[in-house]
């Protein structure tokens, strides 16, 4: 009987650096996993690049090796800043995957207070790791960031990805427009924007029940009666750690510049820039990741779609920054 396998991101495995992991890929013709790197070997740059450029994940390790993989991610963070031989995209992938696992652990605790606190801790640590590893030039990586992120739209992946795009956009926005916009708080807003989807109703309970979405998120049409922004807003108000920007972004990330969004129907000048950034980041990740009911589309097609919607839905400066980052 074959071992249970789990997908890992190929760019998190440092080339020519043995970590004792058996790495496999799925062979569609043979209908089986084929070992490409044994435990006493290391992945080559060529193999890593081939796996990273595929549209679907095809890099797997045995499920019982997950602990070794996570320990490797943690250890890698200790020397990323001093290892000039690694490309920035490899460094960024390691940082992203480490952060994503941290968020996954927090979500599995089924505790809203822990989830919210981890969003702040994780965003601050992410910011520091990025500054150490990329010399503060993350906004110049452009479309390469797409290869650092998972393209399957699970709740954790979507939360992290939207947070990451919010972080990038905040760093790209002209200072004269957003002098006090904090990239870390913008990342928190992306991580927490869909928190209202984790419970049906908070009611008057001291500890609302968290319900974890299973599998990839479904593509759903926009409905003005969708309660998750309002539920999320009321939920976040319970926690003293929450700050204004993430709180408003959670409530307003489905507002649209033509006034036809929800839950309030705000017009362009009434929507704070942080909420506009979260709205565009949410749309971008929704287009470029796989959902139930829709396939991921290319970076070029996603930009075309968002630019065609700009006059109706999105802040023009935010769309301009998104195009600058991803074109």
d(CA 176, CA 5): 49
Domain ranges of the chain: 1-83, 87-326
**Tokens at 37, concatenated:** 């790197």
Residue 185: strand, helix, or coil: helix
| pLDDT band with cut points at 50, 70 and 90 for residue 206 | low
- Report the pLDDT value the prediction gives residue 56, as an integer from 0 to 100: 75
Instruction: Give me the residues paired with residue 6 across strands.
Output: 61
Which pLDDT score is estimated for 180? 75
pLDDT of residue 5: 92
CA distance 255 to 161: 20
| DSSP H/E element including 295 | none
Spatial CB neighbours of 225, under 8 Å, sequence gap ≥ 6: 262
pLDDT tens profile 283-316: 999 999 988 888 889 889 999 999 999 989 999 9
Whether 46 shows a pLDDT value over 80: the answer reads yes
pTM above 0.85, yes or no: yes
Q: Check: CATH 1.10.3210.10 for 87-326?
A: yes
Predicted confidence at residue 2, as pLDDT, reads 62
The token duo for 162 is 């939207």
Place of tokens 């769309």: 319
φ, ψ dihedrals at 238, nearest 5°: -75, -20
- Please report the pLDDT score of residue 88 as a whole number: 84
Mean pLDDT over each residue of the chain, to the nearest integer? 89
pLDDT at residue 1 tops 50: no
Residue 190 contacts residue 162 (beta carbons within 8 Å): yes
Helix-helix angle 112-134:183-192, to 10 degrees:
140
The pLDDT of residue 136 is above 80: no
């Amino acid at each position: 009987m074959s071992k249970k396998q789990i997908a890992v991101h190929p760019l998190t495995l440092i080339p020519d650096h043995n970590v004792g992991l058996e790495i496999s890929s799925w062979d569609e013709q043979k209908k089986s996993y084929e070992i490409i790197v044994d435990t006493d070997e290391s992945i080559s740059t060529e193999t890593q690049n081939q796996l990273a450029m595929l549209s679907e994940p095809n890099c797997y390790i045995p499920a019982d090796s997950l602990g070794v993989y996570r320990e490797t991610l943690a250890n890698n963070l200790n020397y990323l800043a001093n290892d000039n031989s690694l490309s920035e995209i490899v460094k960024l992938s390691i940082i992203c995957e480490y952060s994503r696992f941290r968020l996954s652990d927090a979500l599995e605790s089924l505790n809203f207070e822990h989830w919210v606190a981890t969003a702040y801790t994780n965003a601050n640590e992410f910011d520091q790791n990025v500054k150490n590893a990329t010399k503060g030039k993350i906004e110049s990586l452009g479309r390469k960031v797409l290869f650092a992120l998972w393209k399957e739209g699970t709740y954790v992946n979507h939360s992290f990805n939207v947070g990451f795009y919010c972080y990038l956009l905040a760093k790209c926005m002209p200072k004269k427009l957003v002098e006090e916009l904090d990239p870390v708080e913008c990342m928190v807003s992306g991580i927490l924007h869909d928190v209202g989807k984790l419970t049906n109703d908070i009611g008057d309970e001291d500890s609302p029940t968290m319900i974890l979405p299973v599998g990839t998120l479904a593509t759903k049409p926009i409905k003005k009666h969708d309660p998750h922004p309002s539920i999320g807003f009321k939920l976040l108000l319970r926690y003293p750690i929450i700050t204004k920007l993430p709180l408003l972004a959670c409530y307003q990330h489905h507002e649209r510049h033509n006034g036809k969004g929800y839950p309030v129907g705000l017009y362009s000048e009434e929507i704070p820039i942080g909420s506009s950034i979260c709205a565009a980041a949410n749309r971008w990740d929704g287009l470029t990741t796989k959902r139930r009911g829709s396939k991921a589309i290319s970076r070029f097609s996603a930009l075309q779609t968002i630019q065609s919607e700009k006059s109706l839905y999105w802040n023009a400066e935010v769309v301009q920054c998104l195009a600058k980052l991803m074109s």
